[in-house]
Chains A and B, each alone.
Chain A
Amino acid sequence: MEQAHQEAGGAGPKQRSVEIGTAVLTLLFGFVVIYGSHKVGSGWDGGPQAGFFPFYVGIIICACSLVNLVSALREDRTRIFAENGQLVQVLKVLIPACVYVALVPEFGIYVPSILLILVFMVWLGKYGIPLSLAVAFGVPIFFYITLERWFLIPLPKGPVEAMLGL
């Protein structure tokens, strides 16, 4: 796959920059872990304190992140991470998905699911409205029957379900 990307040679962010970014990210995370462990005590007080183990974990994260950072800096400058077109594809999934999970706490799982499937099928899949509606309502109804009725596992519900008295 990766070779195919190189041959296509489209524009896009460089693998090198993303590698550097990831290494910096893990480095920061390591610092957070060290700081947090230090706050609860990372030493010895008749036994290892609560932060003892994570403190060393944090140190290892930082050390290895530095190694990764150095090798990322030496990475080939021409290789791209993904073409812009591909990233657009990814964002087309990612943004609706993020909106979806953001809606779940407020509206429950069913209504956002119906919207998500509808948006996907109509916008990305270019399907007709009837088929899209069928799938969009069919899937949540299927889960309602199997999970809530058969397995008695309640799923989050919002105002719409309350209105319908479910």
Chain B
Amino acid sequence: MILDNFTHLYHGFGIAADPFNILLMAIGILLGVIIGVLPGLGGANGVAILLPLTFSMSPTSAIILLSCIYWGALFGGAITSVLFNIPGEPWSVATTFDGHPMARSGRAGEALTAAFTSSFVGAFFAIVMITLIAPLVAQFALQFGPAEKFAVYFLAFASFVGMSKEPPAKTVVSMMLGFALACVGLDMVTGQLRLTFGFTELLNGFDFLIAVIGLFGIGEILLTMEEGLEFRGKSARIDPKVVWKTWKTLPRFWATSLRSCVIGCWMGITPAGATPASFMSYGIAKRMSKNGNNFGNGEIEGVIAPETAAHAAGTSALLPMLALGVPGSPTAAVLLGGLLIWGLQPGPMLFVEQADFVWGLIASMYLGNVVGLILVLTTVPLFAAILRIPFSIIAPVILVICAIGAYTVNNNVFDVLMMMVFGVLGYLLKKTNYPLAPLVLAIVLGPSAEESFRQSLLTSAGSVSIFWSNPLVSTIMGLGLLAGVWPLISKGIAKLRSSAQPA
């Protein structure tokens, strides 16, 4: 079985190493870094905007381009955090804690090298894990009926509620808003129109790509504007000597790296995402390190820990997407939406029916990250220069890009108006601590979650006991419940401990 994987992977490298695909990787990484560096353009909406451009490509080339944009965005977040103390992406917030102090004391090159290399290590670890585990998960999932499928969705969404640092009721509302929006339009089973209230524009429902572009793109611009961004960055040039010197010190932190990889992979598969992974990894590294007290003043370990975890989480978020059809992050959800548009149904059957595609993608993850590491190390000054373009030029250009992106999804001008509505909503929700990721995932997964829910109930003639009818489905549902109420349990344990040992 494992050997089989390697043969497939070898074959996949043959597909990914095609010169055209390598070129797409380089373009994708560069675009991704630009997207990661600019405020208002993130991984999720960057990929969403560029999705229509790939419709004329073969699915393999298209997904290589898009996933490389994603790697690029992950790399790009580190540049702004270290040089400008502005996290370009939420998952690089923890990188600013030690990365920016390092840059201020003239060690920007060192910090960036450490950040990029850690990103690479984290991603690589996650890809190896995907190579080994994804086919097994997919094979296992082939036995899933509708009830098991719904249970997996339940588990995914329950872990959002449990892992999110926002209040559970807000997470649930945000998620259910997504499910409700996904229901709007034509009901596939009965052929009835629902929730359209007579508006013909709503006939086809809400496209999640529009929601992503609005919520993450426009919302982010409004937030940035409110904070009144001032760009006061450190300039950086990375010369090979600094890279080499930093690389020599990195093996010393192998324990931190390994721990961060594991945290990242875990948080990425259960869809908690890269942001909590990076914070958790930073926090644990701070507690475990000998130099823990110096964290926050420019400790290289404080850059390694969050970057490794964020990249490991970002990458492993693709595992459930490929193997189960349940994306682990908004960006993975956009990629999943792309697959659906190309007529590929993500999930266990993908490994059987489209083996070339899957292994081409996995191989491209290996190559893409190597290409990415080399590219970002050599092009940092270029991107630092982009960041110096004032916001009053960048903002309208990004608005225009978002509008074009929203229009090209369905060639519909109404979508451009919808995007603006979602933008204002995104700003409001973000300011009031409603998480946006569950909303987006629910819009994407809503139709399939509803379908499996209805099919399950049909077989059981309306009884919800079907979700507890066999050991497999009960286990998954049980895990889901556990994940959903986890904060209560951990609070309980903490209380018990503190009462047992009075401090």
Contact = CB atoms under 8 A, between A and B. Distances in A.
Interface of A: 1, 15, 18-19, 22, 26, 29-30, 32-33, 36-37, 39-41, 44, 47-54, 57-58, 60-61, 64-65, 67-68, 71, 81-82, 86-87, 89-90, 92-94, 96-98, 100-102, 104-105, 109, 113, 116-117, 119-121, 124-125, 127, 135, 139-140, 143, 147, 151-156
Contacts of A156: 407, 413
B424 A100 contact: no
B225 A48 contact: no
A29 B180 CA distance: 9
A153 B53 contact: yes
B464 to A, nearest CB: 11
Contacts of B177: 26, 29, 61
A61 B222 contact: no
B218 interface: yes
Contacts of A47: 189, 454, 457-458
Interface stretch (B8-16, B324-332, B367-375, B394-402): B394-402
Contact of B404 (A39, A49, A58, A143): A143
Nearest to A81: B431
B169 A71 contact: yes
B194 A54 contact: yes
A150 B172 CA distance: 43
8 contacts: A19-B432, A48-B454, A48-B457, A90-B226, A109-B407, A120-B395, A124-B392, A125-B392
B434 A53 contact: no
Interface in B436-494: 450, 453-454, 457-458, 462
Nearest to A34: B180
A119 B396 CA distance: 9
A61 B173 contact: yes
B399 A36 contact: no
B416 A93 contact: no
Given A50-B187, A104-B407, 8 more contacts: A18-B428, A53-B179, A53-B450, A53-B454, A60-B176, A89-B226, A93-B221, A105-B413
A55 to B, nearest CB: 10
Interface string B53-71: 1001000000000000000
B407 A40 contact: no
Contacts of A104: 403, 407, 413, 416-417
B197 interface: yes
B407 A121 contact: no
A98 B192 CA distance: 33
Contacts of A101: 403, 416-417, 419-420
B180 A61 contact: yes
A79 B399 CA distance: 31
Contacts of A90: 222, 225-226, 427
A102 B411 CA distance: 16
Nearest to A22: B432
| Dominant SS among interface residues on chain B | helix
B53 A54 contact: no
B124 to A, nearest CB: 33
B52 A153 contact: yes
Interface residues of B, number: 61
A52 B454 contact: yes
A165 to B, nearest CB: 21
Contacts of B169: 64, 67-68, 71
A-B pairs with lowest CB-CB distance, top 9: A125-B392, A67-B169, A120-B396, A36-B195, A50-B187, A54-B183, A105-B413, A50-B192, A64-B169
A124 B221 CA distance: 14
A50 B195 CA distance: 10
A37 B194 contact: yes
Given A57-B179, A104-B403, A155-B407, A49 B419 contact: no
> Which of B172, B180, B390, B403: most chain A Cβ within 10 A?
B180
A40 to B, nearest CB: 5
Given A57-B179, A121-B392, A22 B226 contact: no
B190 interface: yes
Contacts of A61: 173, 176-177, 180
Contact of B180 (A33, A40, A97): A33
B180 A57 contact: yes
Given A37-B194, A53-B453, A109 B395 contact: no
A2 B276 CA distance: 19
The interface centre, meaning the residue of A57, A154, A156 with most chain B CB atoms within 10 A of its CB, is A57
Contacts of A119: 396
A152 to B, nearest CB: 8
Contacts of A94: 222, 424
B334 to A, nearest CB: 18
